[in-house]
Structure 1
Amino acid sequence: MQLPNAFVDMMKPHLGPAWPEFEASYDRPPSRGVRIDRWSVRADDPSRPPILHAVLRHLRGQVPWMPFGFYMDEESVLGKTIYHEAGAFYIQEPSAMAVALAVDPQPGERILDLCAAPGGKSTAIARLMNNLGHLVANEIHPTRVKILAENLERMGAAAAVTNESPGALAKAWPASFHAILVDAPCSGEGMFRKDPQAAKEWSKDSPIVCATRQKDILSSAVEMLLPGGRLIYSTCTFNPMENEQIVAWMEDELGLVVEELPNLPRWSPGRPDFADGRIALTKTRRLWPHLAEGEGHFVARLRKPGAATSVSDSSLDSGRRARAGRERRGEGRSVGLRGTGFKDWQNWLAEICKRPDPSIETPILHKDIYFSDELLGLSVDGIRVLRPGTPLAKREGNRIEPLHGLALRSSPNRFFNVKPLDEQAAIRYMAGDALANDDGLRGFVALEHAGLCLGFAKAVPGRVNNLYPKGWRKQGLISLST
């Protein structure tokens, strides 16, 4: 491909003797990857069902820095299968998989992904902490935030979704998060091979414009960090202005301290010579496409000074105590879910779930939709909240009906009524077809295939009526077993 002349003039001196090899990497196809989410990739891991062999044979080797990441061929059909639709895996550029590892999310933490769409890094964070924390995924663009919400639901990620500017969130949520990821809007130089249009739109002013925007976002982000909290900064670009020089600026202007990142095989240390010889920049990491199989990426982790705030000492704990008090009084958290309404929810959940997730036992109710409460302890006054958590069920008069989000948040063994499907039946289900009721089932049924909960149906005599969301239905999904 033809690289922009101004980009060549900027980067060639930085790379020196490595430039010919770097330039030659653009003659190779871009890297594609898939991150396994619902299945286990290890034979000795009983916590998840084993990865399906029909999927495994479409993968061509493990991503060195991601234990459950794999490479796949450019022409792979995995994205057109029921397994993709059921959230078994997320198709993600391999270098981007390292960012969630840099976040190092811990169960019980409150974490903010500030620039989250389309959701690859948010869903990986949720997976790494087994949905045992409070994750907020924010996206400022109204169209992209809807894509973010759908991906989070598809992957069964426990997360709230907000649609706000970083500045507005900083005013509402000062000193509120244990970790914040800023996967910053950038000039996208690392994506030239994947998206040639990005190369055509790039100009020599792009890094300057982006660096200014990045500083504004980061200034808001640091206000939302708890003392001792960590800020993870990443870009998919090469120039020093948006990478090492931004990290140096965060040390000097925001008072943050660069931390060593976990081992990321095949990644290279950041370049002190790109920012006045600052040695701490060797703790940051770069992926160069001529040195590793992946597109260009940069990642750094910085710590806010102060005594680290444990989960039990944070506002999460006060939120839990307040919720426990409401539970003792038989109340839910939101308007309309109190007293009898809360007992109705508990009774309904006990009828369909054997072992409900703790976070769905005390939901909030908004416009007749029950959501898990992932904003526990955070004020939402003046904040555009697309979803406070996973949509679990809807209330229609005196009835409660399950929603698709509840199925995707759960494994099949959590439900009483489960109907196994083969792959062909699962394809018909996702297309919207009704199914035969050969088992004499009644009521709401969770449908299962290969250890995955595909969604719900309503069993009546002679048939199983399809409850797969109409906006999600797909025609022409590809079978991997034929």
Structure 2
Amino acid sequence: MKLPIPFINQNQALLGEEEYARLECALQEESPVSIRMNETKSFSHEETIKVPWCSTGFYLNKRLTFTFDPLFHAGCYYVQEASSMFVEQVVSKYITEPTVALDLCAAPGGKSTHVRSLLPDGSFLVANEVIRNRSQILAENLIKWGQPDVAVTNNDPADFSSLGSLFDLILTDVPCSGEGMFRKDPGAIEEWSPENVTICYQRQRRIIADIWPSLKLGGILIYSTCTYNLKEDEENIEWIKNELGAESLSVDVPQEWGITGNLAGTDTPVYRFLPHKTKGEGFFLAALRKMGEEDIENLRIKSSKKNKKEKPLEIPLQAKQWLQHPEDFDLERRGDFIIACKKTHKELVNTLYQQLKVVHSGIIIGEVKGKDLLPHQSLAMSNELNTSQFSTYELSYEQAISYLRKEAITLDISAPRGYVLLEYKNIPLGFVKNIGNRANNLYPQEWRIRSGYLPEEVRCL
């Protein structure tokens, strides 16, 4: 790996020549592989070394063929860089009551799925991504994770100003120069330059300034990057404190974790992950609390839409029966789709639809086609799926891969007709409509495994 000379000079000045040499040596080594388990989709697996700062994080001894592991597609675990799992320490310490949270720059969904798992019961997460195609990937990963109290939006940070001070927690994993990803992504080296660092830290300040009014008084902002330089890290934290009015928050960090503190010479608590000290990629995190006075305009809807009294579209009777706790949900028909939303979050979700571009929310129960209701993949992935309402069929590994490729599959002659929930190792994968001589594959086309071959060695969890 050939590193840019300005990068070398920058980090020698930051760390000292001896410690920088250790960093450069670590960057020549192979990246560790880590995953985070979904505790709501339990299955037996071999225990490996735990990520110290994450209760559900594990290091793997070797990289798996994740694309060809059905349990990965079922949302049983997420492949996530270990350092970024440190967000758990902030959320676990400071978020103790039901919360409305925003992950502002959320794709592909590692931190969103993690934060959603950590939030107290009764909380709601909005996961946002400004780039349209990446917001679709974000929605896919959150649907697979299975927790219903989420919405995925596709908006610019400034668009959230129409919501007023809505959020108790905002996570901003801001776009950065990517220095911490050099080992994992050689392309990041080619894109790096001192000029790009300047562009990044200025963009980061604009993002924070745009979203700051959306944070409640006393609310918490988590700021993170995957880079090393002071401009995008410590200097931006000082700017947030001085210009926007914020109080730094600290978390307890055992010395054996190897996490580095502030390198700018101030006493502001920040948390740096350096690959020669911690088992993970380069990462930076700081937590801040919003201080000062503000005008709160929570949920004052400024919709330009006229409130027309329209006859609600009919919702098929079985839609509620497909949920474990139907009494907790309101069902709404949007076009041909039946969507379930927790009653406690209905007003919030309606506001999001009126003010933002919502890509996904709640649970998509099914799609109405004539007199039929087709169960949706969102329902199959949801923790609220009432499996007793469907006939189930256990797939072999080969059948599971064929299904995930959206290929035509044939079930045993003994398999029931109609809509059948397919499972792999007792974990739902999705639906088919079994008509006897074949089963119509209902797996989403855009989610399918595109590779037409299997590696010589398949390594699954």
Interval of TM-score (by shorter of Structure 1 and Structure 2): 0.7 to 0.9
Taking a change above 3 Å as real, the CA distance of residues 370 and 106 of structure 1, as seen in their structure-2 partners, is farther
Q: Partners of 2:308 and 2:82 in 1: how far apart? A: 40
Q: Partners of 2:309 and 2:199 in 1: how far apart? A: 44
Report how far residue 464 of structure 1 moved.
Answer: 4.4
Q: Partners of 1:334 and 1:52 in 2: how far apart? A: 52
Counterpart check, 1:68 vs 2:51 = no
3-state SS, counterpart of residue 221 of structure 2 = strand
Q: Which runs of 4+ in 1 moved over 6 A?
A: 333-337
Aligned length: 439
Residue in structure 1 matched with residue 330 of structure 2 by the alignment: 362
Moved more, 365-374 or 296-305: 365-374
Give ranges in structure 1 of 5+ residues lacking alignment. 40-47, 308-312, 320-332
The code of the aligned residue for 1:291 comes to K
Deviation string for 1:355-411 (max 9, x for gaps)?
Answer: 4483xx313332222234464263544522222344331122333221101110136
Counterpart check, 1:348 vs 2:334 = no
Cα-Cα RMSD = 3.2
The code of the aligned residue for 1:367 comes to G
3-state SS, counterpart of residue 268 of structure 1 = coil
Higher relative contact order (CA 8 A, sep 6+): 2
Taking a change above 3 Å as real, the CA distance of residues 408 and 18 of structure 1, as seen in their structure-2 partners, is same
2:368 aligns with one of 395, 419, 425: 395
Counterpart check, 1:3 vs 2:19 = no
The code of the aligned residue for 1:299 comes to L
Q: Partners of 2:391 and 2:134 in 1: how far apart? A: 34
Q: Partners of 2:385 and 2:166 in 1: how far apart? A: 35
Taking a change above 3 Å as real, the CA distance of residues 315 and 267 of structure 1, as seen in their structure-2 partners, is farther
Q: Partners of 1:448 and 1:459 in 2: how far apart? A: 14
Is the contact between residue 163 and residue 298 of structure 2 (CA under 8 Å) also seen in structure 1? Answer: no
What are the within-5 Å matches in structure 2 for residues 199-210 of structure 1? 199-210=189-200
Taking a change above 3 Å as real, the CA distance of residues 154 and 30 of structure 1, as seen in their structure-2 partners, is same
Tell me the percent identity: 32
Residue in structure 1 matched with residue 381 of structure 2 by the alignment: 408
Is the contact between residue 337 and residue 365 of structure 1 (CA under 8 Å) also seen in structure 2? Answer: no
Q: Partners of 1:413 and 1:477 in 2: how far apart? A: 33
2:259 aligns with one of 241, 247, 268: 268
Residue in structure 2 matched with residue 14 of structure 1 by the alignment: 14
Taking a change above 3 Å as real, the CA distance of residues 178 and 445 of structure 1, as seen in their structure-2 partners, is same
Q: Partners of 2:234 and 2:308 in 1: how far apart? A: 45
Taking a change above 3 Å as real, the CA distance of residues 256 and 225 of structure 1, as seen in their structure-2 partners, is same
Counterpart check, 1:427 vs 2:401 = yes
The code of the aligned residue for 2:2 comes to Q
3-state SS, counterpart of residue 257 of structure 2 = coil
Q: Partners of 2:308 and 2:157 in 1: how far apart? A: 26
Deviation string for 1:270-312 (max 9, x for gaps)?
Answer: 31x51xx431x2x2211111101100001111111269xxxxx
3-state SS, counterpart of residue 436 of structure 1 = coil
What are the within-5 Å matches in structure 2 for residues 238-253 of structure 1? 238-253=228-243
Report how far residue 262 of structure 1 moved.
Answer: 4.8
**TM-score (normalised: structure 1):** 0.82
Is the contact between residue 79 and residue 91 of structure 1 (CA under 8 Å) also seen in structure 2? Answer: no
What are the within-5 Å matches in structure 2 for residues 196-235 of structure 1? 196-235=186-225
Taking a change above 3 Å as real, the CA distance of residues 285 and 386 of structure 1, as seen in their structure-2 partners, is same
Report how far residue 73 of structure 1 moved.
Answer: 4.7
Report how far residue 97 of structure 1 moved.
Answer: 1.6
Residue in structure 1 matched with residue 304 of structure 2 by the alignment: none
The code of the aligned residue for 2:364 comes to P
Is the contact between residue 32 and residue 279 of structure 2 (CA under 8 Å) also seen in structure 1? Answer: yes
Is the contact between residue 160 and residue 390 of structure 1 (CA under 8 Å) also seen in structure 2? Answer: no
Q: Partners of 2:209 and 2:454 in 1: how far apart? A: 45
Is the contact between residue 412 and residue 446 of structure 1 (CA under 8 Å) also seen in structure 2? Answer: no
Taking a change above 3 Å as real, the CA distance of residues 306 and 356 of structure 1, as seen in their structure-2 partners, is farther
2:151 aligns with one of 154, 160, 163: 160
Q: Partners of 1:357 and 1:111 in 2: how far apart? A: 24
2:275 aligns with one of 270, 280, 289: 289
Report how far residue 188 of structure 1 moved.
Answer: 0.6
Q: Partners of 1:442 and 1:132 in 2: how far apart? A: 38
Q: Partners of 2:163 and 2:422 in 1: how far apart? A: 40
The code of the aligned residue for 2:280 comes to G
The code of the aligned residue for 1:138 comes to N
The code of the aligned residue for 1:12 comes to Q
Q: Partners of 2:412 and 2:323 in 1: how far apart? A: 21
